[in-house]
Amino acid sequence: MLTRDFNHNIPTIHMYLCKELKDLKNIDEILWGIEEEGIPCKVLKNEESIISEKLSYTASQLSRLSVGIGIDKTGKVTLTLNKLKENEPLFVAHIDDSPNNLRNLGSNAGRLVKGIPFK
């Protein structure tokens, strides 16, 4: 049997995490919100220690879906679209917010891709 590894460039929402972020327990809530909308997401650690606005902006620029999420070392979470200014994210939360708020942020990222109203 011949098995091939296909490296498809699937369009995804990009989530950039600061390398210094230690508490990753609530990130699943954001990912579950994105999954509920049926949109794939790629999670990457950024080697630079930069603010969440910069992380989300960079993620949105590199995402084929034009949507990015950034989480900095303080736990600040930002969601943005590549057409917005770097310092003006669409949604802002904190990694210690309620699970419902974080899941809604993830869901809203997926809804942004789909072009339907936010939660």
Residue 91 pLDDT = 98
pLDDT digits (tens, 9 = 90+) for 40-58: 999 999 888 899 999 999 9
Residue 9 pLDDT = 80
Q: Where are the beta strands (DSSP E) in the chain?
A: 13-18, 41-46, 67-71, 76-81, 91-94
pTM of the model: 0.91
What CATH number is given for 13-112 in this structure? 3.40.50.10150
Pseudo-torsion of CA 19, 32, 116, 104, nearest 10°?
-80
Strand-pair category, 76-81 with 91-94: antiparallel
pLDDT digits (tens, 9 = 90+) for 61-86: 999 999 999 999 999 999 999 999 99
Whole-number Cα distances in Å, 4 to 9, 40, 53, 106: 15, 22, 39, 33
Res 6 pLDDT > 80:
no
